[in-house]
């Protein structure tokens, strides 16, 4: 699992190995985690750390789009390499059948009957996922299940 300590240990190893890409990427991720902890006024849990790592990946994906528009292959390559480093610190993604099974279980628990219950289902389901599936994928699946799909 992704923990702040894992990231800190990886940063120390990158510094020793003089791996500038990993060092730079891990420092930025740790800085974002530290900022989130200061704003929260407490330590982040596993899901919180994974959320920050996902946010960092999304930021780099947006950078790639902008860099391609600006015809900057150097920035595209750098951002793709940073994404590769960060993805190694995310929890293993949940298999689609596991996700659907869990979603059906939560639907039954909360007694959801239609699309109007989407928020109620998501409120219970998302914490159970522990960051192992993206919010959009989960939302789309629950929406399909609630509409009879």
Token reading at 66: 């902008």
At 113 the pLDDT is: 82
Scanning 41-93, the segments in alpha helix (DSSP H) are: 46-69, 73-87
Percent of the chain with pLDDT over 70: 98
Residues contacting residue 28 through CB under 8 Å, at least 6 positions apart:
56
Check residue 95 and report its DSSP letter: P
pLDDT digits (tens, 9 = 90+) for 49-105: 888 998 999 999 999 999 999 999 999 999 999 999 999 988 788 888 999 999 999
- 4: nearest Cα among 45, 41, 57, 58: 45
Kindly report the backbone phi and psi dihedral angles of residue 44, in degrees, each rounded to the nearest multiple of 5, phi listed first: -85, 150
The residue length of the chain stands at 149
Cα–Cα dist 83/22, whole Å: 10
At 67 the pLDDT is: 96
The average pLDDT across 7-27 equals 96
Answer whether 142's CB lies under 8 Å from 103's CB: yes
Number of C-beta neighbours around residue 89 at 10 A: 20
Token reading at 59: 């930021």
Task: Provide the mean pLDDT of the chain.
Answer: 90
Q: What three-state secondary structure class fits 128?
A: helix
pLDDT digits (tens, 9 = 90+) for 114-124: 888 888 899 99
Distances (CA, A) of 107 to 16, 93, 98, 100, 137: 49, 21, 14, 10, 16
The average pLDDT across 105-132 equals 86
Token reading at 24: 């730079």
**Lowest-pLDDT range of 2-6, 24-28, 38-42:** 2-6
Band of the pLDDT at 2, cuts 50, 70, 90?
A: low
At 133 the pLDDT is: 81
| Domains of the chain with bracketed CATH | 4-87 (1.10.1510.10), 96-146 (1.10.10.410)
At 149 the pLDDT is: 60
At 1 the pLDDT is: 44
What pTM did the predictor assign?
0.73
């Amino acid at each position: 699992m992704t923990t702040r300590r894992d990231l800190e240990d990886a940063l120390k190893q990158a510094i020793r190995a003089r791996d500038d890409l990993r060092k730079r990427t891990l420092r930025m991720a740790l800085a974002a985690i530290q900022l989130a902890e200061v704003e929260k006024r407490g330590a982040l849990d596993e899901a919180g750390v994974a959320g920050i790592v996902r946010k960092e990946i999304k930021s780099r994906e947006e950078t790639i789009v902008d860099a391609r528009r600006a015809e900057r292959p150097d920035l595209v390559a750098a951002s793709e390499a940073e994404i590769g480093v960060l993805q190694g610190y995310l929890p293993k993604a949940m298999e689609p059948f596991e996700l659907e099974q869990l979603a059906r279980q939560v639907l039954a628990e909360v007694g959801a009957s239609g699309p109007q219950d989407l928020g109620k289902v998501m409120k219970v389901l998302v914490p159970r996922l522990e960051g192992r599936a993206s919010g959009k994928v989960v939302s789309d699946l629950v929406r399909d299940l609630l509409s009879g799909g």
